[in-house]
Amino acid sequence: MLILSDLYRVAIRTGDRVLTPSMKKIVKWDHPAGMKYIHFWAPLMKWSLVAAGFGDMLRPANKLSLNQSISLFATGAIWSRYSMVIIPKNYMLFAVNIFLAFVGAQQLARIGHYRYTHPEAQAKN
Amino acid sequence: MASLISRGLAQLKSKEMRDYLMRREKHFWGPVANWGLPLAAIADLKKDPEIISPKMTVALCFYSMLFMRFALQVKPKNRLLFACHFANECAQLMQLARFINYKYGTPQPMKQYQVPPSATKPPVPPVRTV
Protein backbone atom coordinates (compact mmCIF):
# COMPACT_ATOMS: atom_id res chain seq x y z
CA MET A 1 0.00 0.00 0.00
CA LEU A 2 1.44 3.35 -0.99
CA ILE A 3 1.81 5.64 2.02
CA LEU A 4 2.25 9.18 0.77
CA SER A 5 3.92 10.56 3.89
CA ASP A 6 6.69 7.93 3.63
CA LEU A 7 7.11 8.78 -0.04
CA TYR A 8 7.46 12.44 0.88
CA ARG A 9 10.05 11.67 3.58
CA VAL A 10 12.09 9.52 1.16
CA ALA A 11 12.01 12.36 -1.39
CA ILE A 12 13.21 14.88 1.21
CA ARG A 13 16.01 12.57 2.37
CA THR A 14 17.24 11.95 -1.16
CA GLY A 15 17.12 15.70 -1.76
CA ASP A 16 19.26 16.26 1.33
CA ARG A 17 21.78 13.72 0.10
CA VAL A 18 21.84 14.46 -3.62
CA LEU A 19 21.72 18.26 -3.81
CA THR A 20 24.97 20.20 -3.59
CA PRO A 21 25.16 23.20 -1.19
CA SER A 22 25.09 25.67 -4.07
CA MET A 23 21.97 24.03 -5.52
CA LYS A 24 20.42 24.06 -2.07
CA LYS A 25 21.06 27.79 -1.82
CA ILE A 26 19.40 28.44 -5.18
CA VAL A 27 16.16 26.59 -4.34
CA LYS A 28 16.31 27.66 -0.66
CA TRP A 29 16.16 24.03 0.42
CA ASP A 30 16.88 24.65 4.12
CA HIS A 31 14.73 27.77 4.49
CA PRO A 32 12.34 27.56 7.48
CA ALA A 33 9.42 28.22 5.12
CA GLY A 34 10.83 25.95 2.42
CA MET A 35 9.85 22.69 0.79
CA LYS A 36 10.74 20.63 3.86
CA TYR A 37 8.17 22.29 6.09
CA ILE A 38 4.41 22.72 6.36
CA HIS A 39 4.77 26.52 6.06
CA PHE A 40 5.36 25.95 2.36
CA TRP A 41 2.89 23.21 1.47
CA ALA A 42 -0.15 24.45 3.38
CA PRO A 43 -0.55 27.79 1.56
CA LEU A 44 0.28 25.99 -1.71
CA MET A 45 -2.69 23.71 -1.08
CA LYS A 46 -4.97 26.75 -1.09
CA TRP A 47 -4.49 26.90 -4.87
CA SER A 48 -6.40 23.63 -5.10
CA LEU A 49 -9.47 25.50 -3.81
CA VAL A 50 -9.08 27.99 -6.66
CA ALA A 51 -8.74 25.11 -9.15
CA ALA A 52 -11.84 23.40 -7.75
CA GLY A 53 -13.71 26.70 -8.01
CA PHE A 54 -12.72 27.05 -11.67
CA GLY A 55 -13.80 23.46 -12.28
CA ASP A 56 -17.18 24.30 -10.77
CA MET A 57 -17.81 26.73 -13.63
CA LEU A 58 -18.98 23.73 -15.62
CA ARG A 59 -21.70 22.92 -13.12
CA PRO A 60 -25.17 24.34 -13.80
CA ALA A 61 -25.85 27.42 -11.72
CA ASN A 62 -28.73 25.92 -9.76
CA LYS A 63 -26.40 23.27 -8.35
CA LEU A 64 -24.06 25.75 -6.61
CA SER A 65 -24.12 26.25 -2.86
CA LEU A 66 -24.83 29.85 -1.84
CA ASN A 67 -23.39 29.47 1.68
CA GLN A 68 -20.12 28.08 0.41
CA SER A 69 -19.74 30.81 -2.22
CA ILE A 70 -20.29 33.54 0.37
CA SER A 71 -17.75 32.00 2.78
CA LEU A 72 -15.14 31.49 0.04
CA PHE A 73 -15.50 35.09 -1.09
CA ALA A 74 -15.32 36.43 2.48
CA THR A 75 -12.30 34.35 3.45
CA GLY A 76 -10.46 35.29 0.24
CA ALA A 77 -11.13 38.99 0.67
CA ILE A 78 -10.20 39.14 4.39
CA TRP A 79 -7.04 37.04 4.02
CA SER A 80 -5.83 38.99 1.00
CA ARG A 81 -5.98 42.11 3.13
CA TYR A 82 -4.22 40.46 6.08
CA SER A 83 -1.47 38.95 3.99
CA MET A 84 -0.35 42.48 3.17
CA VAL A 85 -0.29 43.75 6.78
CA ILE A 86 1.58 40.87 8.35
CA ILE A 87 5.35 41.01 8.66
CA PRO A 88 6.87 39.73 6.38
CA LYS A 89 4.42 40.41 3.53
CA ASN A 90 3.36 37.19 1.87
CA TYR A 91 2.74 37.79 -1.82
CA MET A 92 1.83 34.22 -2.67
CA LEU A 93 -0.81 34.18 0.06
CA PHE A 94 -2.08 37.50 -1.31
CA ALA A 95 -2.31 36.09 -4.85
CA VAL A 96 -4.10 32.91 -3.86
CA ASN A 97 -6.64 34.77 -1.74
CA ILE A 98 -7.33 37.35 -4.47
CA PHE A 99 -8.07 34.51 -6.88
CA LEU A 100 -10.22 32.77 -4.25
CA ALA A 101 -12.20 35.98 -3.77
CA PHE A 102 -12.70 36.24 -7.56
CA VAL A 103 -13.86 32.62 -7.76
CA GLY A 104 -16.29 33.14 -4.87
CA ALA A 105 -17.63 36.34 -6.41
CA GLN A 106 -18.05 34.63 -9.78
CA GLN A 107 -20.05 31.80 -8.19
CA LEU A 108 -22.20 34.35 -6.35
CA ALA A 109 -22.82 36.21 -9.60
CA ARG A 110 -23.88 32.99 -11.34
CA ILE A 111 -26.27 32.10 -8.51
CA GLY A 112 -27.70 35.63 -8.52
CA HIS A 113 -28.15 35.64 -12.28
CA TYR A 114 -29.84 32.24 -12.20
CA ARG A 115 -32.25 33.35 -9.49
CA TYR A 116 -32.99 36.59 -11.35
CA THR A 117 -33.76 34.83 -14.62
CA HIS A 118 -35.67 31.92 -13.06
CA PRO A 119 -37.99 33.42 -10.45
CA GLU A 120 -40.33 30.43 -10.56
CA ALA A 121 -37.62 27.87 -9.70
CA GLN A 122 -37.64 26.54 -6.13
CA ALA A 123 -34.34 27.58 -4.53
CA LYS A 124 -32.50 24.49 -3.31
CA ASN A 125 -29.61 26.49 -1.93
CA MET B 1 -19.10 31.32 43.03
CA ALA B 2 -19.89 35.01 42.68
CA SER B 3 -16.21 35.91 42.93
CA LEU B 4 -15.45 33.40 40.13
CA ILE B 5 -17.97 35.08 37.84
CA SER B 6 -16.78 38.58 38.72
CA ARG B 7 -13.16 37.56 38.14
CA GLY B 8 -14.12 36.02 34.79
CA LEU B 9 -15.92 39.18 33.70
CA ALA B 10 -13.01 41.31 34.87
CA GLN B 11 -10.71 39.21 32.71
CA LEU B 12 -12.97 39.71 29.70
CA LYS B 13 -12.98 43.47 30.19
CA SER B 14 -9.22 43.63 30.81
CA LYS B 15 -6.86 45.50 28.59
CA GLU B 16 -5.21 42.31 27.31
CA MET B 17 -8.52 40.98 26.03
CA ARG B 18 -9.36 44.24 24.32
CA ASP B 19 -5.91 44.33 22.74
CA TYR B 20 -6.32 40.75 21.54
CA LEU B 21 -9.60 41.54 19.83
CA MET B 22 -9.01 45.07 18.61
CA ARG B 23 -5.48 45.40 17.32
CA ARG B 24 -4.74 44.43 13.76
CA GLU B 25 -4.15 40.86 14.85
CA LYS B 26 -3.86 38.41 12.01
CA HIS B 27 -3.88 35.62 14.57
CA PHE B 28 -7.46 36.38 15.60
CA TRP B 29 -9.51 37.94 12.81
CA GLY B 30 -7.95 35.83 10.07
CA PRO B 31 -9.03 32.56 11.70
CA VAL B 32 -12.42 34.10 12.52
CA ALA B 33 -12.88 34.73 8.77
CA ASN B 34 -11.98 31.11 8.12
CA TRP B 35 -14.83 29.94 10.37
CA GLY B 36 -17.23 30.86 7.57
CA LEU B 37 -16.28 27.68 5.73
CA PRO B 38 -17.22 25.11 8.40
CA LEU B 39 -20.35 27.06 9.34
CA ALA B 40 -21.44 27.13 5.68
CA ALA B 41 -20.84 23.39 5.41
CA ILE B 42 -22.83 22.69 8.59
CA ALA B 43 -25.70 24.82 7.28
CA ASP B 44 -25.58 22.90 4.00
CA LEU B 45 -25.91 19.54 5.77
CA LYS B 46 -29.68 19.99 5.86
CA LYS B 47 -30.01 20.98 2.22
CA ASP B 48 -30.36 18.96 -0.96
CA PRO B 49 -27.23 16.87 -1.61
CA GLU B 50 -27.45 18.00 -5.24
CA ILE B 51 -25.72 21.27 -4.40
CA ILE B 52 -22.57 19.54 -3.05
CA SER B 53 -19.62 20.05 -5.36
CA PRO B 54 -17.36 16.97 -5.19
CA LYS B 55 -14.23 18.79 -6.44
CA MET B 56 -14.56 21.54 -3.89
CA THR B 57 -15.35 19.13 -1.04
CA VAL B 58 -12.29 16.94 -1.71
CA ALA B 59 -10.09 20.04 -2.10
CA LEU B 60 -11.38 21.41 1.22
CA CYS B 61 -10.67 18.07 2.95
CA PHE B 62 -6.99 18.17 1.90
CA TYR B 63 -6.76 21.89 2.64
CA SER B 64 -8.07 21.51 6.19
CA MET B 65 -5.83 18.51 6.83
CA LEU B 66 -2.73 20.50 5.97
CA PHE B 67 -3.84 23.60 7.82
CA MET B 68 -4.50 21.66 11.02
CA ARG B 69 -0.79 20.85 11.16
CA PHE B 70 0.15 24.38 10.00
CA ALA B 71 -1.86 25.94 12.83
CA LEU B 72 0.07 23.93 15.43
CA GLN B 73 3.49 24.47 13.83
CA VAL B 74 3.43 28.27 13.52
CA LYS B 75 4.90 30.28 16.37
CA PRO B 76 2.80 31.18 18.36
CA LYS B 77 0.50 28.14 18.12
CA ASN B 78 -2.88 29.13 16.77
CA ARG B 79 -5.42 26.87 18.44
CA LEU B 80 -8.36 28.88 17.08
CA LEU B 81 -7.24 28.13 13.53
CA PHE B 82 -6.72 24.49 14.48
CA ALA B 83 -10.27 24.26 15.85
CA CYS B 84 -11.64 25.93 12.72
CA HIS B 85 -9.92 23.49 10.36
CA PHE B 86 -10.78 20.49 12.53
CA ALA B 87 -14.46 21.48 12.35
CA ASN B 88 -14.17 22.07 8.61
CA GLU B 89 -12.55 18.67 8.08
CA CYS B 90 -15.39 16.92 9.91
CA ALA B 91 -18.06 18.89 8.06
CA GLN B 92 -16.49 18.34 4.63
CA LEU B 93 -16.10 14.60 5.25
CA MET B 94 -19.79 14.44 6.16
CA GLN B 95 -20.68 16.33 2.96
CA LEU B 96 -18.49 13.94 0.96
CA ALA B 97 -20.25 10.94 2.49
CA ARG B 98 -23.66 12.46 1.69
CA PHE B 99 -22.59 13.15 -1.88
CA ILE B 100 -21.29 9.60 -2.45
CA ASN B 101 -24.46 8.19 -0.94
CA TYR B 102 -26.60 10.40 -3.16
CA LYS B 103 -24.70 9.72 -6.37
CA TYR B 104 -23.97 6.00 -6.00
CA GLY B 105 -26.29 4.87 -3.21
CA THR B 106 -29.65 5.97 -4.57
CA PRO B 107 -30.84 4.78 -7.99
CA GLN B 108 -30.53 7.63 -10.45
CA PRO B 109 -32.84 7.94 -13.45
CA MET B 110 -30.93 7.28 -16.66
CA LYS B 111 -31.61 10.62 -18.26
CA GLN B 112 -29.59 9.98 -21.40
CA TYR B 113 -31.57 6.97 -22.55
CA GLN B 114 -34.90 8.65 -23.10
CA VAL B 115 -36.57 7.48 -26.31
CA PRO B 116 -36.97 10.42 -28.70
CA PRO B 117 -40.66 11.17 -29.44
CA SER B 118 -40.11 10.82 -33.21
CA ALA B 119 -39.35 7.10 -32.78
CA THR B 120 -42.88 6.35 -31.55
CA LYS B 121 -44.67 7.88 -34.57
CA PRO B 122 -45.77 5.31 -37.17
CA PRO B 123 -43.60 5.37 -40.30
CA VAL B 124 -45.19 7.40 -43.12
CA PRO B 125 -45.37 5.38 -46.36
CA PRO B 126 -43.45 7.02 -49.22
CA VAL B 127 -45.68 8.88 -51.75
CA ARG B 128 -45.27 7.57 -55.33
CA THR B 129 -44.79 10.48 -57.68
CA VAL B 130 -44.10 8.51 -60.87
- Residue B21: its pLDDT value, please? 63
B112 contacts: CB under 8 Å, gap ≥ 6: none
A8 contacts: CB under 8 Å, gap ≥ 6: none
Q: Tell me, yes or no, whether A39 and A23 share the same domain.
A: no
Is the N-terminal amide bond of A32 cis, ω within 30° of 0?
no
Interface of A with B (CB under 8 A): 37-39, 41-42, 45-46, 48-49, 51-53, 55-56, 59, 63-65, 67-68, 70-72, 74-75, 78-79, 82, 85-86, 124-125
Tally of domains within chain A: 2
CA distance A19 to chain B (A): 26
CA distance B116 to chain A (A): 24
Q: Which residue from A46, A56, A68 is facing B40, i.e. has the nearest CB?
A: A68
Q: Tell me, yes or no, whether A57 and A106 share the same domain.
A: yes
What does the pLDDT look like over B92-126, one tens digit per residue? 999 999 999 999 887 776 666 667 777 777 777 88
- Residue B107: its pLDDT value, please? 78
Q: Tell me, yes or no, whether A19 and A4 share the same domain.
A: yes
Q: Which residue from A48, A64, A82 is facing B63, i.e. has the nearest CB?
A: A48
B35 contacts: CB under 8 Å, gap ≥ 6: B84, B87
Q: Tell me, yes or no, whether A107 and A50 share the same domain.
A: yes
Q: Tell me, yes or no, whether A101 and A53 share the same domain.
A: yes
Q: Tell me, yes or no, whether A25 and A37 share the same domain.
A: no
Q: Tell me, yes or no, whether A19 and A76 share the same domain.
A: no
Q: Tell me, yes or no, whether A26 and A37 share the same domain.
A: no
Amino acid at B121: K
Partners of residue B53 in chain A, C-beta under 8 Å: 52, 56, 59, 63-65, 68
The rounded distance, in Å, linking the Cα atoms of A93 and A85 is: 12
What does the pLDDT look like over A80-99, one tens digit per residue? 988 887 777 778 889 999 99
| CA nearest to A103 within chain B | B56
- Residue B16: its pLDDT value, please? 72
Q: Range of A108's domain?
A: 31-122
- Residue A1: its pLDDT value, please? 66
Return the domain boundaries, chain B. Answer: 18-105
Q: Tell me, yes or no, whether A67 and A106 share the same domain.
A: yes
Q: Tell me, yes or no, whether A38 and A97 share the same domain.
A: yes
Interface predicted TM-score (ipTM): 0.83
Q: Tell me, yes or no, whether A5 and A59 share the same domain.
A: no
CB A107 within 8 A of CB A49: no
CB contact under 8 A, A64 and B37: no
Q: Tell me, yes or no, whether A114 and A62 share the same domain.
A: yes
pLDDT tens per residue, chain A (125 residues)? 678 888 889 999 998 898 888 888 888 888 877 888 888 888 889 999 999 999 998 888 888 999 999 999 999 999 998 888 777 777 888 999 999 999 999 999 999 999 999 887 766 66
pLDDT tens per residue, chain B (130 residues)? 888 888 877 777 777 776 666 654 657 778 888 999 999 999 999 999 999 999 999 999 999 999 999 899 887 888 989 999 999 999 999 999 999 999 988 777 666 666 777 777 777 788 887 7
- Residue A41: its pLDDT value, please? 86
For residue B37, the tally of other CB atoms under 10 A from its CB is 25
CB A125 within 8 A of CB A66: yes
- Residue B111: its pLDDT value, please? 65
Q: What is the number of alpha carbons within 13 Å of residue B17 lying toward its C-beta?
A: 7
